[in-house]
Structures are given as structure tokens and as C-alpha cells.
Amino acid sequence: MSNRQKHPTSLNFKPQVVQNTLALPCVAQSAWRLDDESGLSWLQAQWQAKQPMRIVGGASNLILPPILPGQTVLMALKGITVIEETTQNVLVRVAAGESWHEWVQQSLNAGWFGLENLALIPGTVGASPIQNIGAYGVEVGQRIECVTVWDFSCGQIKVLSADDCQFAYRDSLFKKPEGQALLILSVSFRLLKQASWRPVLDYPDLKPLAQSALTNDLVVSPQSVFDQVVAVRRRKLPDPALTPNVGSFFKNPLLSAEHFDRLRQQYPGLVAYPQADGRAKLAAGWMIEQCGWKGRRVGAVGVHERQALVLVNLGQAQVRDLLALAHAISEDVLGKFGVALEIEPICWA
Ligand code: EPU
């Protein structure tokens, strides 16, 4: 343990640029890398002194303001630990600062399956439960056994079960007011061994994989699901390193069955997915495209040409440009379909 971590108050807290996948200009007034849990007691004192505090992981699902006041904690805790292992499954604790995609690759290489549908999602492991990342038929909450947090309200480490985390579509306890005193330290995943693993191939983009396996009398492997998800994402979604973005900018709205039926009579082409609770999840990207926004540019921001749910920074965009574009899109969707869109990333601007 370094001297720096033992005595965080001796650090010279300097303003620091916060790199983010939207490439928005953002400077943290005082940033600090948390790479050791020994810094938590110092953070606790900051919290009690009512210093504004923000935790930043990969900054891949954040809309940042030009200045972040108070303390900004750059999450850098590392480590992957097997907690228990049987012939059927394994429980693995992964520190919050690990890269999500690298962890997915490592889990596959180790023969632990269940995360392959969630390949190539940018960001950190610690951010994954916050918005309950989901793609191609799997949500991370289905694979999480528990989340270990530092609870600033009592200055203690706590272990939250998956139920405690209140996972829902792009939502969890960590996005709610009562979750704001929690700093995620690690996430524990229950993953399957080959013998008990079954592929999840219901999502339309993965059906060809199931079909080709059937035709050629092949068994679908976790690696082939991973490869297919990576290929689909590369085809549809812009690489944030080349075209800055935060993935889907809006949630897919959930409508009651009767609201959906009424809307579908008006718009027979409406794309939607039935939910277990009877509601319908509308494809917001389809509605945005119908409003003529797909591929449109407004100054330094635009709507991606292959996926209308993704807004992109085309150059020197400011956060206000992006929010103005989001507002214009939402107004059009509301005007045409009578459906309100909700911004999906966390907005601190
Ligand atoms: N669609 C259009 N036009 C578009 C975009 C989509 O018509 O411009 C239609 C598609 O043809 C398809 C349907 O909408 O029929 C759904 O599109 P897609 O499969 O691309 O998925 P999505 O609903 O737009 C969601 C997630 C993505 C996730 C994919 C795959 C949300 C907010 N987004 O997008 O997550 O990768 O499903 O599961 O739920 C993210 O959260 O950042 C993200 C990329």
C-alpha cells in the first residue's frame, strides 16, 4: 500500500480533465483515483463535510457538465476473486474498476458463461448494476448475486442482494434517491459452467445463429454468441473512440397493453417487444427514425446513421448542443406518437 493511499489528505488535489465517451469538455475541480479501499475513510469525512461527490467509472453512460464541483472519485479498484465453485457454477467477485468488456472476455476464457450476450459494452464493472446494462436478451441483474458497497450514510461496507438492488429495465436502486449514498466496490456474478449453460438467442439479431446451428447440426457455443454479439454491435453502433457517444441516448418506453394497441392501430409498423408484465416496450429508435431524425446533423451533434437511438458528438460539441438536440427529438416523438422519451444515461449537466 502506498503512502499516498494511506494519507489521502496530503494529496495535491488538482483540477483534472474527465475523459468521457461523449468527448464533452469536463474538468473536475478536484479529482482523486480510488485504487485502494484504504481511501474510503477519507472519502467518508468528505461526505460528512457535505462536499459534493461524484463517482466516475468509464464515463461511458454520463452526460457531464463543463465543471464538476467538489470531489470527483475516479474508480480504479481492481481484482477478480473466485468466491465459490462447483461443477455447475461459480461465484466470482469483480472489483468495480475492472473494464466490463475485458471481464466478459476473461469470464469466457475461464469457462464461466452467462455474460456473452453483454459483450463489447463500454464502461466498468462497477457501473454495470447502476443502469442494469442489458443487450441481446440478457440484463446484468440476472447474473448478479450481490453487490458490495460502501454506505456513506453509516460509513460501513454492506452487501446487497440482487433483490435489494431492485433491478428493472435500465434501472436499479443505485439510480434512485435512496441509492445515492452508496459507492459500489465490487459486483459478484453467479456464472455457469458448460454443463449447465444454455444460450439465450431470442433477440432477433441472434436468431440467425440459432438457425444456422440447427441447419448444420451444430451446438451453439458461448464463444459463438459472444462473436455474434460483437459483430452485431460493431455493425450497428458507433465506436465511441472514433465517434463519441453514450450508446442509446433514450430508453425504450414501456406502454400499457391498451395504450400500445391503440397506437398500433394508428401505426401498424410500430416495433415493440412484449414484456412479462403485459406491457410493451417500444423501439424508440424506430419512432425517432419515423420522425426523420436518423442521420441528421445539427451543428456539432447528430443522430447516428445506422441507429437513431444513438446521438453523436461530431466535433467540438458542448453539452447544451446535445441536450438541445435531445429535446428537439423528444418533442417530435411526443408530437407524432404521443409517447414521452426518457434520457437513458445519467445526466449531471
Ligand atoms: N430501429 C429502427 N431504427 C433505428 C433503430 C432501431 O427502426 O434507427 C428498430 C430496429 O430495426 C429493431 C428495433 O428498432 O427492430 C430495435 O433496435 P435494436 O435491436 O438496434 O435495439 P434498441 O432497442 O434500439 C436496445 C438497447 C441497446 C442494446 C440493444 C440490443 C435500450 C435503450 N437500448 O436498443 O443498448 O444494445 O437493444 O439489445 O434499451 C445502450 O443501452 O446503450 C444500448 C446500446
Nearest CA to ligand 1 atom 36: 135
pTM, two decimal places: 0.95
How much of the chain exceeds pLDDT 70, in percent? Answer: 96
| Higher-pLDDT residue of 211, 148 | 148
Residue 99, pLDDT > 70, answer yes
pLDDT tens string 231-278: 999 999 999 999 999 999 999 999 999 999 999 999 999 999 999 999
Does the annotation mark 342 as catalytic?
A: no
Q: Is the pLDDT of residue 5 over 70?
A: no
Does the annotation mark 344 as catalytic?
Answer: yes
Q: Per DSSP, what are the bridge partners of residue 347? A: 63
Q: Which residues line ligand 1 (CB under 6 A)?
A: 135-136, 203, 205, 236-237, 247-248, 251-252, 271, 283, 285-286, 289, 294, 307-309, 344
Tens of pLDDT, residue by residue over 55-71, are 999 999 999 999 999 88
Mean pLDDT of 300-325: 97
Pocket of ligand 1, candidates 236, 248, 293: which has the most ligand atoms within 8 Å of its Cβ, to mutate?
248
Give the distance, in angstroms, between the CA of residue 145 and the centroid of all CA atoms in the same chain.
18
Average pLDDT for the chain = 94
Distance 150 CA to ligand 1 centre (A): 34
Cell 459494452 sits on residue = 121
**How distant, in Å, are the alpha carbons of 5, 28, 46, 57, 227 from that of 42?**
10, 18, 7, 19, 43
Confidence grade of residue 216 (pLDDT, cut at 50, 70, 90): confident
Angle between helices 100-109 and 222-236 (to 10 degrees): 150
**pLDDT tens track for 107-122:** 999 999 999 999 999 9
* Protein residue closest via CA to atom 15 of ligand 1: 271
